[in-house]
Amino acid sequence: MASWDGHSSSIVEYFEGADFYCCGYCKNLEGSRSNGMWAHSMTVQDYQDLIDRGWRRCRPLQFQPSKSHKKVLKKVLKFLAKGEILRRNCEDEPMDSTMEDAVAGDFALINKLDIKCDLKMLNSDLKGSLESEEKKENNSKKEESSELTYSQAIEQKLGSGEPSHSIKVHMVPKPGKGADLSKPPCRKAKEIRKERKMLKLTQQNPAGEFEGFQAQGQPPSSFPPKAKSNQPKSLEDLIFESLPENASHKLEVRVVRSSPPSSQFKATFQESYQVYKRYQMVIHKDPPDKPTVSQVRLVPASFEDPVFKSSFSQSFSLYVKYQMAIHQDSPDECGKTQFTRFLCSSPLEAENPPNGPECGYGSFHQQYWLDGKIIAVGVIDILPYCVSSVYLYYDPDYSFLSLGVYSALREIAFTRQLHEKTSQLSYYYMGFYIHSCPKMKYKGQYRPSDLLCPETYVWVPIEQCLPSLENSKYCRFNQDPEAVDEGRSKEPDRVRVFHKKTVMPYGVYKKYQKDPSEEATVLQYANLVGQACSERMLLFRN
Residue 75: give the domain boundaries: 57-83+234-295+334-449
Residues 463, 399 within the same domain: no
Bridge partner list, 367: 254, 377
Residue 163 in any domain: the answer is no
CATH code at position 392? 3.40.630.30
Number of independent structural domains in the chain: 3
**Does residue 166 lie in a domain region?**
no
* Domain-terminating residue out of 429, 449, 469: 449
| 532 domain residue, yes or no | yes
Is the separation of the CB atoms in 323 and 333 below 8 Å? yes
Q: Same domain for 365 and 417?
A: yes
Are the C-beta atoms of 409 and 392 separated by less than 8 Å? no
Q: What is the pLDDT of residue 35?
A: 72
Amino acid at 54: G
- Is there a domain that residue 315 lies in? no
The single-letter DSSP state of residue 391 is: E
The one-letter amino acid at 198: M
Claim to verify: residue 48 and residue 67 sit in the same structural domain = no
Sort 500 into a burial class: Cβ within 10 Å, 0-12 / 13-18 / 19+: exposed
pLDDT at 232: 83
Same domain, 341 and 388: yes
What pLDDT does 98 receive? 32
Cβ atoms 383, 361 nearer than 8 A: yes
Query: pTM score > 0.95 for this model?
Result: no
Do residues 377 and 253 lie in contact, with contact meaning Cβ atoms separated by under 8 Å? no
- Asked if residue 307 is part of any domain, the answer here is no
Q: Are 241 and 260 part of one and the same domain? A: yes
Cα gap 414→388, rounded to integer Å: 11
Asked if the structure places residue 271 within a domain, the reply is yes
Task: In the chain, count H helices and then E strands.
Answer: 15, 16
Q: What's the pLDDT score for residue 3?
A: 52
CA dist., res. 43 & res. 143, Å (int): 76
CB 525 within 8 A of CB 495: yes
The length of the chain in residues reads 542
Q: Are 150 and 171 in contact (CB under 8 A)?
A: yes
Flag whether 246 is in a domain: yes
- pLDDT for 109: 27
Residue 405 and residue 257 share a domain: yes
Per-residue pLDDT of the chain (542 residues; tens, 9 = 90+): 655 444 578 999 998 766 677 776 667 777 666 778 889 999 999 999 999 987 678 999 999 999 999 999 999 999 999 999 976 654 444 443 333 332 222 223 223 323 333 333 334 443 444 344 445 444 544 444 443 333 333 333 333 333 333 333 334 444 554 445 445 556 667 667 777 777 766 665 554 443 333 333 333 333 344 445 567 889 999 999 999 999 999 999 999 999 999 999 999 999 999 999 999 999 988 887 654 433 434 334 333 444 444 444 445 555 555 555 555 555 566 678 888 888 999 999 999 999 999 999 999 999 999 999 999 999 999 999 999 999 999 999 999 999 999 999 999 999 999 999 999 999 999 988 889 888 888 899 999 999 999 999 999 999 999 999 999 988 999 999 999 999 999 999 999 999 999 999 999 999 988 888 889 999 999 999 999 999 999 999 98
**Is there a single domain that holds both residue 344 and residue 362?**
yes
- 459: β partners: 452
**Spatial distance between the Cα atoms of 383 and 350, rounded to a whole number of angstroms:** 10
Q: Assess contact for 389 and 276: CB atoms under 8 A.
A: no
Q: Which amino acid is at 248?
A: S
Q: Of 55, 89, 540, 22, which is closest to residue 311 (Cα–Cα)?
A: 22
502 with 526, same domain: the answer is yes
Domain-located, residue 98:
no
Residues 73 and 45 in one domain: no
Dihedral angle computed from the Cα positions of residues 370, 374, 377 and 383, in that order, rounded to the nearest 10 degrees: 80
Which strands form 449-452's sheet, in the order they lie side by side? Answer: 251-259, 362-370, 373-382, 386-394, 427-431, 56-58, 449-452, 459-461
User: What are 36's strand-pairing partners?
Assistant: 15
Q: Check whether residue 515 and residue 535 sit in a common domain.
A: yes
Shared-domain flag, residues 531 and 433: no
Q: Are residues 253 and 396 in the same domain?
A: yes
